[in-house]
Chains A and B, each alone.
Chain A
């Protein structure tokens, strides 16, 4: 029990007749980076908001840092940090004034606050924006500031709801370096994203779809154990057209477009040669098909496909 930062048991939340979170259960170990993956509206934010004590669950149980989410939310709030999906810092005051405000609210020691703030301004582009009003910042810088506001008081657990939305790839690298260093300090990180490449950085991920967890585990293990079939990558001139054609063929379970490439998932019983011959007679291949390791995205698409069927 002591090693678990978060435990959730059959958590549900309804808004009217709409079930946003439909009985999810999972545990997160201390110091773990736990990724919550899923499309918009899958129930990621609703789950986070229940864990942070902002929203009461309709039913089910949850504990964060050892405290009950419905009965002891005030105890939880002193031990967590939260970065909401929608930007929620004060826009009319400066970067530093926002940081100072939250340092005060979390009763940070002045010395710690000053040291961490200085380090943060040294390490990131925000140093240049220190005395700028937040509304004038580019969106990447805002996200950085929100991240820092959530972690500057060194919470036991930090909840990051789509932290890298609207952040350019280089800055995203900084985010993940920061997240990794938090985990090294023993801070548990609960992060949601819909960038599946980011999910590979997590120790474990849960895939959530329509309020339910479709799969949970370490990324590599998930694609190995949960994925049914084989994935082939091929280059085609018109991937969208090729995709719809491929889906009409027997033995093709899924076809997903990645830029100019097509990932085809074939059932275990299917014969790849027959399928590719059929396909090549209708569309021209730029690159020959290669058998590849399925990615999380392939897994996700196939899991959603299963759900829908």
Chain B
């Protein structure tokens, strides 16, 4: 293998990237767009649920109940309704996700033993409505306890067994802290596979491969030379998105920078060789683009644990997800960012990534040799 040839290819590839606005956009603007989009738009937290209230009782008690809903921070009153019809309209239009209806005899019923109130949650978003129902139950339970306590003259907040819950590694339970490290992995998967998948295909398409394969260049020299600039871009994107995560989204960074660099390098090597292999096999930019999106973005989004925890997937899907390199990096990144995990904890994931790298690299070089 000749180092001179690798450098010659890397230099040429870099020049081509720098003169191609399409590549420049994908390499440098796309990650930033993606991280802001996901960082700001996607949140799994349920807060300030738009709530409409119909208070028929209009009593001290009903107002007290309403206050405990609104003061919880989970519910935000957007309208006071005068009829059930209004509630239906607001929920239909999607303006309200929750409704609280207090009947006219609420105060009187409260003096006896039963005081039903009606709560309505928009069930079209199943996940959110689950959380809404849980929050509303908790508020009602607290309300009942307080009433019972004051009736018998005891301050219940001092009496009952209270669970002091602490969310380790993500104390504010901010879903961004959980999403953004995963997002970085997703960006690197997609870009790595996508950008490299175009490079070899483009040479076949434009006819430049014809001349290149008449030269003594070896498949491994070509592969290394072509991947080197994309490795640099990938690492740049990694540090850029990490910086955005820490500075703009306040994601903590508790682990080691060296470990971050090593594991991301391994991961990049794996996805870059995967993209390269796709390019070698497809020989067309259009097809390479589609295959690499299918092979990188979709599994990266759905099967990597980025949005949906792998442990709650069906067993069969869990086994399939073992073949998705992204899941290992996401584990590693969450470990490094949120838990400050060290090498001892991350080692199995690192080994898995090293395995992928070796597999794809060998396949990439072998498939190329056959196609000449």
Give A contacts to B, CB under 8 Å: 52-54, 74, 77-78, 80, 82, 84, 86-93, 97, 100-107, 133, 149
Contacts and interface: CB of A to CB of B under 8 A. Distances in A.
A101 B226 CA distance: 13
For A84, A91, A93, the residue with the greatest tally of chain B CB atoms inside 10 Å of its CB is A93
29 contacts: A52-B214, A53-B214, A54-B210, A54-B213, A74-B216, A78-B216, A82-B211, A84-B207, A84-B214, A88-B206, A88-B208, A89-B208, A89-B211, A90-B16, A92-B15, A92-B19, A100-B11, A101-B8, A104-B5, A104-B7, A104-B9, A105-B212, A105-B215, A105-B216, A105-B217, A106-B215, A106-B216, A107-B2, A149-B211
Given A54-B210, A105-B212, 16 more contacts: A52-B214, A54-B372, A78-B216, A84-B210, A86-B207, A88-B208, A88-B211, A89-B208, A90-B12, A92-B16, A93-B12, A102-B215, A104-B7, A104-B9, A104-B11, A107-B5
B4 A107 contact: yes
Contacts of B4: 104, 107
B216 A54 contact: no
A133 B214 contact: no
Contacts of B217: 105
Contacts of A104: 4-5, 7-9, 11
B214 A80 contact: yes
A87 B2 CA distance: 27
A105 B5 contact: yes
A86 B213 CA distance: 14
A106 B206 CA distance: 22
Contacts of B215: 77, 102, 105-106
B8 A105 contact: yes
- Chain B residues touching A, majority SS: helix
Contacts of A102: 215
Top 8 A-B residue pairs of the complex, sorted by shortest distance between their CB atoms = A104-B8, A82-B214, A88-B211, A78-B216, A77-B216, A101-B12, A88-B207, A88-B210
A87 to B, nearest CB: 7
A101 B11 contact: yes
A52 B2 CA distance: 21
B20 interface: yes
Nearest to B206: A91
Contacts of A52: 214
B218 to A, nearest CB: 8
A53 B369 CA distance: 13
Nearest to B209: A88
A88 B209 CA distance: 7
B213 A92 contact: no
Contacts of A133: 19
Interface in B166-214: 206-214
Given A78-B216, A105-B215, A107-B2, A86 B210 contact: yes
Nearest to A83: B211
A97 B211 contact: no
Contacts of B15: 92-93, 97
Contacts of B209: 88
Contacts of B9: 101, 104-105
Nearest to B222: A105
A84 B211 CA distance: 7
A107 B3 CA distance: 10
Nearest to A103: B8
A140 B2 CA distance: 34
Contacts of A97: 12, 15
